Amino acid sequence: MNRVLGTSVNRKDGLAKVTGQATYTTEHQLSGLVQGYLITATIANGRIRAITTQAAERAPGVLAVVTHQNMPKVFTPANDFRNSKLHEARLPLSDDQIHYAGQIVALVVANTLEQAREAAQLVAIEYEAQPPLVDPQRASYQELPDITFSQGNGADQSGISLEATYTTAKELHAAMEPHAIIAHWQGDSLTVYEGSQWVMLHQRTYAELFGIPSEKVRLVTPYIGGAFGSKCFPWSYSVLCAAVARQMNRPLKLVVTRRQLTTNTGHRAATEQTLRLAAMPDGKLITIDHTVKTYTSPSDRFIVDCTATTPVMYAAPNLRLQQELSVLNVATPTYMRAPSENPGMWALESAMDELAWKLNLDPVYLRLKNETTTHQRTGLPFSSKHLADCLWVGAERFGWRDRPKQPRHLARDGQLVGWGMAAATFPAMRGNTTVKVRLLPDDTVHILTSGNDMGTGAYTMVAMTAAEALGVPIENIQVELGDSRFPDGGLAGGSQMTASLAPAVLKACQEVLKAAKCSTATHACAALKQSGRAAFEATASSAPSEDAQKWAFQSWGAHFCEVRVDEELGRVRVTRWVSVMDIGRVINAKAAASQVRGSVIMGIGEALMEECQLDPESGCPVVYDLATYHYPSHADIPRIDVTFVGKPDLTFNPLGVRGVGEVGITGVAAAVANAIYHATGKRFRQLPITPDKLMG
């Protein structure tokens, strides 16, 4: 048997990426390509009174200036997640109304990017501005009844209680590859080169937008330079580019500038969360009351359900979850790595730490004592759960038993030292996928699917799964991803690509061997040569089983960290980190650990640095590039020790694998804040924990 799964394998796409051979969106070369440049609103609320484009239209190389007055017609898609979906429901340039600063108000098309950018400065826009509402503290909120949940007496505050409010800041995805698109019409057929986390849904969405059959749309996205949720669906700039390209009958490239990315490609919405916990002196929880306030834009409705993880973490007879939403003059928020779970766990894990200190109990013990075996909202048991193992293993690897039991009792080199921990969780999701596997006479295997790799290692995961199923070396397997001409590979989001795609790959490989009437690919190749056929080929699909309604599927983890705090400078350094994850069976140990490390780095940035503030008067972001948006560098990050525990979750899928892309970020910010409390004795409930707060 060719044992591959569970080992550490280098990326199949690694060499292509580091040598520049990987082709990203803007690098596709097309004859007759023209360039677009966006013009965006400088007010956050109001309307366009007048827009003058004549000077821009006469500028050298300019081919078109498109505004709400001459926007080509597109149809409104269903926006239902099954047939089509846009990141922002309002179609671009659909009227003269301005809902947020940075909203697209025009597009200049020219022969070169420089000409388009220069001409954009010549477009004169007169606004009729209204005062914007961008401050969540001044907004009015409405309760969302479909999210509100209650069991027992949610108001029960007997025992020892804690009440605290925790906030998170607006965060940006800040992917290395800016959002971009090339739209190329050939007659009534459209080819789109665009970073897409869901190739076939992109295809169907463009088909609906332009009233053509899906087979007339081809989506090409072999490589994505970062997404984190912001490239699941087409954005307004994408719709605009494709519409103008059709009108001009020229392939059109549009790259969103780094400054425009702050408003036109989504963000993680800021949140305010109030936790009320009550427990007996021995730590047994009596009540969990979790209320969340967040916002959406006037252009669409997006909800950050921070209460989603609360009922899966800790058991309490009295549980109350409440979500409230306001509408602000801001760009539409969107999905960002563990979109609801990450901010939700920041608040819950911070509150659990505070309660542990109040009860004079070990924070690890408090979590173990209150672990729930069922999803308290659905009543379903978990298919597999090894959270306790994560906590025990993490505590042992970190040396948690040696933790000083009082704050401000540990120092090194004149700096305060603190230890903190938090649990982690994320739902295990799985979708419908299809894969084609082709075995050739030269002992090579070709695998085709539209499912893609946005940097998580899908090329390698697919190859490893096939290598073990067929008994061939990984080097013999060629994987092609990210093209709508291939079978539907599903969504690369929600940490579900591996769990969805691997079972389909396994099944297709088994079908190939069945067709060859052989037990291994080596024997199948001999049979293939004797048959005179060009290949043995099979297409197979995988979908969640009917038993999925009987179980709650979830991944788990625990983080332990050490920080050093220089109170005079207000400086925090994370100096040690241990993460232990329960994600079912691990396919590629190297890639999985890398995913956790990336999540931890992102979470440290959230805890200590990342925020996008808005000017309260203009509503414009004061952050506009990668110099003004602060995120961690190598010097900010220690060695991150990653371990996996748990057994294959065979109830979830035939391989027992669950996703790892998002569970690793949940709880990270809380672990950092909890360590800072242990170091300083000061409790910080507002992210990020910046030097001014530490020195205040």
Point out the residues that are catalytic: 662
Q: Does residue 441 have a cis bond before it (omega within 30 degrees)?
A: no
Question: Is 236 within 8 Å of 266 (Cβ atoms)?
Answer: no
For 82-216, strand residue ranges (E) read: 97-98, 104-110, 124-129, 142-143, 149-151, 160-168, 180-186, 189-194
Q: Which two structure tokens, joined as six digits, stand for 353?
A: 């730490």
DSSP state string for 464-491? HHHHHHHT--GGGEEEE-SBTTS-----
Beta partners for residue 186, in sequence order: 189
558-586 in b/e burial notation, b at 16+ Cβ within 10 A? bbbbbbbbbeeeeebebebbbbbbbbbbb
Beta strand 640-644 with 571-582 is parallel
Amino acid identity at 496: Q
Closest CA to 449 of 430, 432, 427: 432
Through-space distance between the first and last CA atoms of the chain, rounded to whole angstroms: 62
The distance of Cα 410 from the centroid of its chain, to the nearest Å, equals 37
Structure tokens of 629?
A: 């948006």
Segment holding 49, helix H or strand E:
strand 46-52
Q: Which of 231, 215, 238, 80 is nearest to 488 (CA)?
A: 215
Polymer length of the chain: 696
Q: What is the dihedral of CA 10, 14, 16, 22, to 10 degrees?
A: 140
Please tell me the number of Cα atoms within 13 Å of 639 on its side-chain side.
Answer: 2
Q: Helix or strand or coil: residue 136?
A: helix
Q: Which residues lie across from 416 on neighbouring strands?
A: 411, 565
Half-sphere exposure of 356 (CA within 13 A, CB side): 24
The answer to whether the CB of 102 falls within 8 A of the CB of 588 is no
Tokens representing 498? 């591996």
Backbone angles phi, psi at 307, to 5 degrees: -85, 0
> In whole angstroms, what is the distance from residue 220 CA to residue 196 CA?
8
**Could you tell me the two tokens for 378?**
């659905």
8: tokens are: 């550490």
129-149 CB burial, b ≥16 within 10 A, e <16: beebbbebeeeebeeeeebeb
Cβ within 8 Å of residue 111, ≥6 positions away: 34, 35, 61, 63
Residue 263 CA from chain centroid, whole number: 17
Cα–Cα distance, 9 to 480 (Å, whole number) = 18
Name the β-bridge partners of 191. 184, 218
CA-nearest of 602, 587, 604, 589 to 642 is 589
Report the C-alpha gap between 282 and 213 in whole angstroms: 63
